[in-house]
Amino acid sequence: MEQIISFKDDGSVTQDRGRMLRRSTNLPELKEKMNDASYPVHELSRLISLEIVSIAQEMSECENDPSLQFKMKGYNDQIKGLRELAKSISETDILSKRDILNFDGEKFKFVFTEIVNAFKKAVKEAGAGDSLQNNIMKHFADIMRMKETDLRRDTAKIELGGNK
């Protein structure tokens, strides 16, 4: 418990007991939820908003009491920090949803190889002879080599949601 001693202009002294030195906070819960990658971003934002409201409530209780004015700067700094945290969480969420295709990455190479193998199988099962199969695969490889630069460029232009 915090004890506040106030000195009045008339020389009298008052003591105010019963204020909590530490306000209630949901920061430990917020930190715990932030460590859980599956926890929804909108819920993290809600927890941050609740913390800001809690601080604003404390600020309103301090506004009219000169002996508590020293706390106002700290509260303002806390709110600024929480706003930055909310902004950071939002930006991280946006980045995590970006659709990035790495043509040189192992995942892409694996998927493309599987697609080529499926294409080979389809050509073979369609009844094409070995000579025709080889001819088709050579033409396919040539076409893909010619298209590679355009594919890389055009893919880089595609934004989230399929817009160019």
Picking from 100, 98, 77, 87, the residue whose alpha carbon sits closest to that of residue 41 is 87
Query: Which pLDDT does position 1 carry in this prediction?
Result: 43
pLDDT at residue 21 above 70?
Answer: no
Runs of H (alpha helix) within 35-70: 41-63
Domain count across the chain: 2
Domain range for 55: 2-96
Q: Has residue 126 been placed in a domain?
A: yes
Contact predicate 25/54, CB 8 Å: yes
At residue 34, the 3 state secondary structure works out as: helix
Q: Are 84 and 110 part of one and the same domain?
A: no
Q: Has residue 164 been placed in a domain?
A: no
Q: Are 121 and 40 part of one and the same domain?
A: no
Q: Are 120 and 59 part of one and the same domain?
A: no
Kindly report, residue by residue over 104-142, the tens digit of the pLDDT: 999 999 999 999 999 999 999 999 999 999 999 999 999
Q: Has residue 163 been placed in a domain?
A: no
Record the pTM: 0.51
